[in-house]
Structure 1
Amino acid sequence: MSRGRQALLALCAVLACGLLLLLPAARRHGPARRPANATVRAGVTPGDPAVAYREAAVPAASRPDVLLLHGQAFTSGTWQALGTLALLAAEGHRAVAIDLPGYGDSPPARTVATQRGRASFLQHVVQQLGLQSPVLVSPSMSGRFALPFLLAHSEQLAGFVPIAPVGTREYSAVQYRQVQTPTLILYGDRDTGLGQQALQSLRHLPKHRVVVLPGAGHACYMDKPEDFHRALLGFLGQLQ
């Protein structure tokens, strides 16, 4: 056998070994994960008040439902654009984001002028959408809705994720201590105003943990979406 042919066979052998070494790594990592069955649809709840929402559902959701509220400068579309709805659906959650009254496609509602009215509003949403013990995600302004609902109907929630919500000082430490809902307190380390202020009140919730996103401001989920999603999914995973 000529030296040229021997060299060619040796080169082929080296290449074949290299491919064999790469195969396990390919099996481990696989292709980039893409959300499955995560088409987002829009709708409006029946009844009064009517509420516009976006939903990403899986055929047989095996993990807790998630209800996402929004801050004053945002709408339900924020969670779609950020990929949160699709990501949650890919992880087996039914995920619903609503437009609060007077925001997005939801008309204003007189019934939300009081704390009791806002708590009743969220109860109406949960019932109309058929959510089963959802995890409530509440950033900023939406705390006006989430906090009265939490304190009045905490038994209806599987979890609570406040993201620097407003209105925390309107309730006492005694009221917070009565809530047994698992809670993830989330805020950005650059939110030295409302984020830390909310923490001072919410730390009285008995079953809470705190995650501070480095380099993120008030809308920390916008500044650091990957870190936010990682923290949210980690919390949801602990509720199984």
Structure 2
Amino acid sequence: MKSLETRLKNPLRTCTASPSKPPPSPAFGGCPHGAKAEEGDSPGSVLSQSSRSEAPQARRVVVAAAGLGTVRSGSLGTGAEPSARSSAFSPSPARWGSSQAGGGASVPHQPGRRRRRRRRRLSGAAQQGERLTMALIRNRLGLLVLGVLVTFVLYLLLPAIQHERFTSRAGSHKAQARAEEKGQQDVNVTVLTGTIAGSPSILFREGFLLQRAGTPSPKRLEVVFLHGQAFTSKTWEDLGTLTLLSEEGYRSVAIDLPGYGNSPLSDSVSTEQGRVAFLLRVLKELGIQRPVLISPSMSGHYSVPFVLVHGAQLKGFVPIAPVGTQEYTAQQYQQVQTPTLIIYGERDSGLGAQSLQSLQQLPKHKVVVLPDAGHACYLEKPREFHEVLLAFLGELQ
């Protein structure tokens, strides 16, 4: 009791902090942090001395308290320096985040990361959609270009196919129309195929005029058809020429040259003499005497030397832009007395014009130019070709 009374009477008495218990708070007149107070000193001077002497320790206390909250300025003394430093070390929510209760580890708080991830996902989806769209456009463009190319090719090929079908049908329809106009209802024409035996074997087609029993068969002029490199004897059948000539009273025969159609290739026709002998054999096997020889394009290798050597065995000669005419002299052509009808297309500036320069040396020739026709003028202008051919055959009878 006496000791307590003495302390109450003299509050500025020197005090020493006990190591076993904390010093009394300054609010009750105690000495903060074990500072010794002398008599006559004011409480403010004691506190300021204690604060100055314990500044490093105050800094450590402020730093340690940063995780638990803001330090009150009165807990470290009345000076301005501890409160300023405590505010400087106060935790920032934006930097450290909220602390866990009981001194746990802090968790960073970054609200912009989710938005960036979401933007990346949306951007990746948009880029993938653009790639798919471009791939679809490229595929459709490729299909469009392919369709245009196919259409262009068909545009180039279909006219020739349609023209060939049209000429074939036109020839057969024209033959039927002629039969109806003449009232020859008892006449029927068929085209048969046969083979000449030998080496090589030769396929031929012939138009036969079928008549009623008792109808006399007139004496007919015989016509033999050769063909060009890209064609066969069936060309003349499809064109309707064999049927037309049979209806007009002519014997019409077309052959497949060796190496074309159904006639095998033979070395016997590799020379000029062999080709001439080949034609002599065909005429003999078919029983044809003094025929009219029709020779387009490539078949000139057979017909031209035959005319120059055996022209007297022909009733007439119809060259249609044949090859090989420049291999012979004008004197050789002038010795031929066979009536000749030279036919070529107006647009055939190649073989048509070249063959004309040589063939016009024949003494008995006439020239017919089919307008707006090319090299295979008989295919492009079948009606005009048939008309001039029938007119020429009529002159020979």
| Fold in common (TM above 0.5) | yes
Post-superposition offset of 1:64? 1.4
Letter aligned with residue 226 of structure 2: L
Equivalent positions of 1:165-180 (< 5 A) are 165-180=322-337
Please give the secondary structure, in 2, of the residue aligned with 1:40. Answer: strand
Please give the secondary structure, in 2, of the residue aligned with 1:88. Answer: helix
* Aligned counterpart, 2:258: 101
* Aligned counterpart, 2:57: none
Q: Does 1:233 align with 2:390?
A: yes
What is the CA–CA distance in structure 2 between the aligned matches of 1:144 and 1:77, rounded to whole Å? 20
Deviations 1:67-125 (A, max 9, x none): 00000000000000000000010011110000000000001111101111101000111
Between the aligned residues of both structures, percent identity stands at 61
CA contact (8 A) 1:64 1:132 kept: no
Please give the secondary structure, in 2, of the residue aligned with 1:57. Answer: strand
Equivalent positions of 1:1-240 (< 5 A) are 32-34=177-179, 36-58=187-209, 60-240=217-397
Post-superposition offset of 1:61? 4.7
Where structure 2 has 5 or more consecutive residues not aligned to the other structure, the ranges are: 1-175, 211-216
Post-superposition offset of 1:163? 0.1
What is the CA–CA distance in structure 2 between the aligned matches of 1:66 and 1:122, rounded to whole Å? 13
* TM-score, length basis structure 1: 0.85
Superposed CA RMSD in Å reads: 1.3
Q: Structure 1 or 2: larger helix share?
A: 2
* TM-score, length basis structure 2: 0.52
Letter aligned with residue 165 of structure 1: P
Deviations 1:45-82 (A, max 9, x none): 12222110100133635331000000000000000000
Letter aligned with residue 120 of structure 1: A
CA contact (8 A) 1:55 1:85 kept: yes
Call closer, same or farther: CA 1:197–1:125 in 2, change over 3 Å: same
What is the CA–CA distance in structure 1 between the aligned matches of 2:261 and 2:386, rounded to whole Å? 23
CA contact (8 A) 1:64 1:93 kept: yes
* Aligned counterpart, 1:23: none
CA contact (8 A) 1:61 1:94 kept: no
CA contact (8 A) 1:162 1:185 kept: yes
- Larger CA Rg, structure 1 vs 2: 2
* Aligned counterpart, 2:165: none
Please give the secondary structure, in 1, of the residue aligned with 2:344. Answer: strand
- How many residue pairs match? The answer is 210
